Structure 1
Amino acid sequence: MKFRVIIEPQPEGGYVAYVPALPGCVSQGETKEEVLRNIKEAIELYLEVVEEQKLKDTMREIKRRDNVQIAEVSV
C-alpha cells in the first residue's frame, strides 16, 4: 500500500511530514531520511489502530444481537 507524504522543511531545522489521506498522521525528523523512516512508522501505527477500532466496532455490533455466541479461535 502506498501513501502520498508531504515533507516540509522547518525554519528552526529538520522536517515535518504528514499524510493527507490519514488525518492526524504526522511525524518529524532532523533529516529527510529520518522523517521518512518516522512517517512510515507513524503510518503503520495509524493503520494498526484503525484495524483495531474496526474490530471493536464489529464486536460491539455483534454483541447487540440476541442469541449470538462468541468464541475465540487461534489460527
Structure 2
Amino acid sequence: MTATETVSSTIRALMGAEKKTIAEFALKLGVTRQTASLFYNGHRAMSTDQIAITAQWLDVSPGALFAGISYERLAA
C-alpha cells in the first residue's frame, strides 16, 4: 500500500467514525468537492499543509494518518 493509499484509508475510516462528509472535508481544505473526493479515494496525493489541516480536523497527529487507523481510537 502506498503512502497516499494509507492516508486516504485512514481518512475514510476516521471520517466515517465521526460521520463527517466529503463536502465538509472539501470546505475544511478549501477545495472543490471533486478534489476532496480524489483525496478521499486515494487518487491524488495531499500536500503537507492539507495533511496537517486534515489531521487537526480529525483530532489526530499528521503521523497517525500515515501510520494507519487504530481501532482503539475509533472505539474511544
Give the TM-score normalised by the residue count of structure 1. 0.26
Structure with greater proportional helix content: 2
Quick check: which one's strand share is greater?
Answer: 1
Q: Which has the bigger relative contact order, CA under 8 A and spacing at least 6?
A: 2
